[in-house]
Homo-oligomer: A and B are copies of this chain.
């Protein structure tokens, strides 16, 4: 594992590391913010999963999360959104292949060889972080768009593993929208019975742990009606009795200006749960 960036930021350090991922079979980069409190002892970790087309850079340069993380004493880890490189299958579209791993374990050729972002985020990355940094084993998870989908699915599939979960403009029902149809069809195959395990709305219906969900969604988001459809999550949570705080934010779009405006709320939500 090698450190490729280290920048002073709000009294802590914003770093980028590269490591050879066993799960993904390629080198992977991730951003990690180490707050000032990490110099004194282990801090809890918030994982931020980014959206389509992003690398580890988008969140660390544009979201302004370091300020709140420094105040709250939270480590914030931002992985890349897929395996990358010449050896890795890809697609010319922005919403499939490199930059679009969808946080699933692919079962179909040519994707199955490297696209296992679920296992990477759930197991390999936290083990690495907790072994090499002053990180406790207390974790929260959040993300944006495709990464909001990832955060919700990962928390719902792993009861007890995350102290809290939240999402910005998540794809709440990939089995019902074009982005999800395309990605799940490619990565998991056209047998749709395999898709429900990767759909937050479907997972809420059978969750054994009622971890409260915090979701922010801009009402001027250009993807709202076709791809995001947060009302599906509201209905699924209502039907299951699953606690949900869904905040429709007036005037906000799908950009990092939206994330930056509310990241402090999401880190405070995580910080309260992490203690």
Residues of A within 8 A of B (CB): 7-11, 14, 61-62, 64, 66-67, 218, 220, 249-253, 255-258, 260-261, 264
Beyond A8-B257, A62-B62, A67-B67, 20 additional contacts (C-beta under 8 Å) are A7-B253, A7-B255, A7-B258, A8-B249, A8-B251, A8-B258, A8-B261, A9-B257, A9-B261, A10-B260, A14-B257, A61-B61, A61-B256, A64-B64, A64-B67, A66-B257, A66-B260, A66-B261, A67-B260, A67-B261
Partner of A62, one of B11, B61, B67, B220: B61
CB pair A257 B218 closer than 8 Å: no
Q: Once bound together, how far apart are the Cα atoms of A11 and B10, in whole Å?
A: 23
Which residues of B lie under 8 Å from residue A7 when comparing CB positions?
Answer: 253, 255, 257-258
CB pair A8 B220 closer than 8 Å: yes
Q: Once bound together, how far apart are the Cα atoms of A261 and B255, in whole Å?
A: 22
CB distance from A5 to the nearest CB of B (A): 9
How many copies of the polypeptide does the oligomer hold? 2
Which residues of B lie under 8 Å from residue A258 when comparing CB positions?
Answer: 7-8
Q: Once bound together, how far apart are the Cα atoms of A250 and B36, in whole Å?
A: 13
Which residues of B lie under 8 Å from residue A255 when comparing CB positions?
Answer: 7
Which residues of B lie under 8 Å from residue A251 when comparing CB positions?
Answer: 8
CB pair B9 A260 closer than 8 Å: yes
Across the interface, name the chain B residue whose C-beta is closest to A220: B8
CB distance from A176 to the nearest CB of B (A): 27
Q: Once bound together, how far apart are the Cα atoms of A251 and B255, in whole Å?
A: 31
Which residues of B lie under 8 Å from residue A220 when comparing CB positions?
Answer: 8
28 A-B pairs whose Cβ atoms sit less than 8 Å apart in the complex: A7-B253, A7-B255, A7-B258, A8-B249, A8-B250, A8-B251, A8-B252, A8-B253, A8-B257, A8-B258, A8-B261, A9-B261, A10-B261, A11-B261, A14-B257, A61-B61, A61-B62, A61-B256, A62-B62, A64-B64, A64-B67, A64-B260, A66-B257, A66-B260, A66-B261, A67-B67, A67-B261, A67-B264
